[in-house]
Each structure stands twice: as structure tokens, then as C-alpha cells.
Structure 1
């Protein structure tokens, strides 16, 4: 005859189902995925494990929940560390950029082949970012200069919201073959990021501007203007990226007579395809169109450049 205590224990064991355990081989597979550090692979392995081991689905989900919590905490700590690094950084710290050098073929005011070089620098802060760009195209043929173009631009930005930002712009240009010795422009306004993903980004901006043009014939033209810009990047494949930068500056006179004497619209359109060679080195094929609706005396309205350059990021 069974003792009462033994009977009660036996009934309890029958009433309480055994706690499911994650099979050792499944646990090892999940651990291996986590060790590799690829979140997408971990999530895929976890879903497959729950499908193939339905009796252990709850335990597998507990493992996944703990892993996700660790990931979230690590991300939070990394973000805090990044913010603190930015706060402690000096004016000349945390700059990144790219330099490029290559060849171009031009049509319009000068039809020739030559060399081009440019440098872009950027500093990303918490709310502020700063971008500096310098470029030069130069060509001499038979002892004569056939192309001489220089550009320098500085653009600070302040992030107002997640996608909305305010910008400033100060720009200097020199291109005697387009009819001006010096051209200065300042602008400020707002912009908005329409697309922001790993595959593509698209932002637009607009604002008032003021431009001073000193032409080769000695004329000095000062006008208020409006600036419109767009910046589009599309990652076509793992190593191929399409870039599109467009800026249009439309001048309008402060008096109605300016409409008669010839307001000037300048359009700068730059399209390119980057081919990633290594983490820091890329090759770039680009096409640039520059149009002035009212250029200097004896100057063409439109210039184009097709370039092949090597780009080094740092």
C-alpha cells in the first residue's frame, strides 16, 4: 500500500508537465549566430529554431528577448559614448572627408582634356554639422590656359528635427572662361530629408541668397537671389553608388528693371557613379553640367565635364 505522501507526489508529477528544454544542438546554433554579431542572421536562426522546435518555442523566445535587451543596452551605451566624445572634442577634431584626383573631358567654352582635383571635409556634431568643399580644374594647351575653374564652399547645418534642418552657405567661384573673375554667394534657408535609409537618401533645401559677380569686362553685378538644391544618393549594389547633386540659383532684381536688363539663372548639375575598390578607395565616373542663362560677353551658356577620378576617403 502506497503511503499518502508518495501518492500526493505522484499525482503532482502527473499534473505538472515537464519543462521543455532547448535541444543542445539548437542552443549551439543560436550561440554561434550571436557570436558572429549579425543581427539579421540571429533573428533568422531564432525563427527557424522556433519553427523546428515548437515545444521549445517559449524558451527560445526568452533567449531571443535577453539577446535583444543586451543589443539595445549596448546601442544605448554606444550612443551616449558618441555624444560625450563629440562634446569633449575640439574644433579640429572629428573631421572626415575625401580627396579625389582625375581627368576630365570638357565641351562648351573650352573643348579639351585636363586634370581635376577636389577635397571635401565634413564634421558631424550633435545638432550641428559642417561641410567644406574645394575643387579646381586647370588645363594648359600650347602654352595657353584653356580652362581655369576654382570653387570653394562652406555649409553649416543645424538639425531642427529628425528630418528638418536649417542651412547656411558661403561660396566663391572663379571661371574666366565662363565670363567672370570672381563670383561670391551667400545663402541661408531650410531643408528637409525626404528619404533616409541604408539604400537611398534624398534631401532638398531652399532659401534666399545674395550674389556678387565681377565679370572679366570689369562689370560688377550685385543681385538678390533664390537658391534651390537637392542631394540624392542611391546604393545600387554593395559596391556601386549613384550620386546626384543639383543646385539652382535664380537671380531676381530688387527693382522691376532688373527683369528687363537680364536676370541670371545658374544651374549646376552633377551626376556620378562610385565603384568601391576598398574601404577607403573608390573610382568615380561623373558628368557635370553648368548653365548660365546670362553669361559674360562672348561666353557660352553651358559647360559640361565628363570625369573619371580616384577618390580616397579618410
Structure 2
């Protein structure tokens, strides 16, 4: 080919590239890059799907971008697992502190102050949950509510959804009729739904409960523990949670199997609904409503207590 003709062909190819040589349009590439920078995998997949549908001549370049993205994600996942494996016991803890006021109804009807703390260590094969809460109120110079609870719950993960749990819990609430109540339990838990925005988990297992009543007597019971945990991230600044559970207890001298759950003489039920709204950084406002129900409380006690809370929550 003459030199002049060859040069002309190169100029034309540069100005009018063929479909096979066309580069991915800059706005489309910028959109994919922005989705990747967001850190949300679902957004990346959605943007890439649209990009492929609207730019069929650039599938090879889009696939190359995704290959690089997937390789980086795999390396980050490996690094995260390695970090958990190498971390010491006092490393990689996450927590939450809460402080605010509440209004109670039931065995007491007053305003009071309450606070709590939650700690979670999530390792590769196990997880440890620790939480404690205290509520206190006085009326006319007298203490009308003095409630304390503390729970330790280790989990062993069989896979991403199934886990075994152990639980040790201490409670004190003189106005519900007991000076101390201890619960030991172990069983299985399963995460029915686990996505970026929604989590639904259940757990159940046998338990032993020892109650020291305010009147001075005590009781040991075989029990069955059931729990439900629902979390929904409505938006980046709003989260709803619903936690419900119960311990169904029978006379320890009566049954030694799960029949005790069916033939229980007392049922303790708790259910808490909460709405968290982000305020600034790690600080959030929480509004919650809790129901505590005993089917067979000590003499002179009301079966149901409710607590409405408004508090500040700090994540650390």
C-alpha cells in the first residue's frame, strides 16, 4: 500500500474507530468506578449489568474491569479472615454504649434513668456477645425501680448461618419479685435471612433457671429458651430492630425433657422494638419500647411491665 494511503487509513481509524476497537465511554466507566468506590457490591453488579446492556460492543473491557474488581475483593476477604485468625482476644472488639431516660408502667409507674453496654467480638469460627443493662428510678424519696441484667453468650459457627450458642445470664428486679435470677442455656441458632440491610435469626435450646425471690425462698427450674432477632437497615441513617425471646420454665421435680416447655408453670417473655437514627458520626438517637411479661409472677405482682425509652447511643 502506498505510504500516503496508509497514513490516510490510520487517520480515519483514529477518528472513526470500529466497534471492535471502540473504548468504553468515559461517563459509563466513571459510573462503574463510582459504584466500586462506594463499596456496595450490589450497586456494582447493578451498574455493570446496565453498562453491558447499553454498551454491547464494550463487553470485553467491562469484563476486564470486573475481573480486576473481583480479584481485589477476594484479596480483601482473605486479608480480613487472616486478621481475625491472628488477632488476640482483646483485639477486634466492637461495642455500643447507651444512656437515657425511660418511662415504666406495670409494677412501677415512674420516670427514671437507664444505661447499657454491648460488646461483640466476631472471629472466624466463633463470636462472643456481652451485654449489661441497669435501670434506676426514685419517687418521693423511695427507690421504685432497681433492675440489673448481664448476659454472656459465646457462639460457635458451623457455617455462615448455623451456629451453636451458650448463654449465662444474671437478672435482678426486686419490683418483679426476685432479688436474683440465673439462667444457663445452650442450643442452636440459625440466620434465616442475612443480607446487607436485613438480618433475621432464631435460636432455641434447653436451659436451667434458678430464682431467688424477694421473700427469701428460691426455686430451680428446667426450661427451654427461644429467641428471635430481627434487624432492618432502612437507610444509611435509620435502623429498626425487633428482639423477642422467652424462657419457658417448669418445676425442676416434674420433667427432664422438652415436654417441660409445653407443661410450664411460668413463662417469662421479653420483646423490644427500637428505632435508631444517626445524629453525628458514631452518635445515634434511639427510641424503644419493651414488654416484659411473667405468666405466673410472685403474689402481689402485676404480670406485665412496659418500658418506653429515649436515649443516646454511641458506637465504638
**Residues 19 and 275 of structure 1, relative CA distance in 2, 3 Å threshold:** closer
* Corresponding residue of 1:176: 174
* Corresponding residue of 1:263: 265
Q: Which runs of 5+ in 2 are unaligned?
A: 2-16
1:43: Cα distance to partner? 5.3
Structure of greater Rg:
1
CA contact (8 A) 1:117 1:136 kept: yes
TM-score of the superposition, structure 2-length normalised? 0.85
1:46: Cα distance to partner? 6.9
1:138: Cα distance to partner? 0.4
* Corresponding residue of 1:200: 198
Structure 1 stretches of 4+ moved >4 Å = none
TM-score of the superposition, structure 1-length normalised? 0.86
Aligned mates of 2:292, 2:111 — CA distance in 1? 17
CA contact (8 A) 1:249 1:265 kept: yes
* Corresponding residue of 2:14: none
* Corresponding residue of 2:299: 297
Q: Which runs of 5+ in 1 are unaligned?
A: 3-16
Q: Between Structure 1 and Structure 2, how many residues are aligned?
A: 291
Three-state SS of the structure 1 residue aligned to 2:78 is: helix
* Corresponding residue of 1:47: 50
1:20: Cα distance to partner? 2.6
1:225: Cα distance to partner? 0.4
CA contact (8 A) 2:202 2:228 kept: yes
Three-state SS of the structure 1 residue aligned to 2:20 is: coil
Aligned positions of 1:1-314 closer than 5 A? 20-23=20-23, 26-36=24-34, 37-38=37-38, 40=43, 44=47, 47-48=50-51, 51=54, 57-58=56-57, 60-256=58-254, 263-314=265-316
Three-state SS of the structure 2 residue aligned to 1:217 is: coil
1:265: Cα distance to partner? 0.7
1:49: Cα distance to partner? 6.8
Aligned mates of 2:44, 2:221 — CA distance in 1? 58
CA RMSD in angstroms, aligned pairs only:
2.4
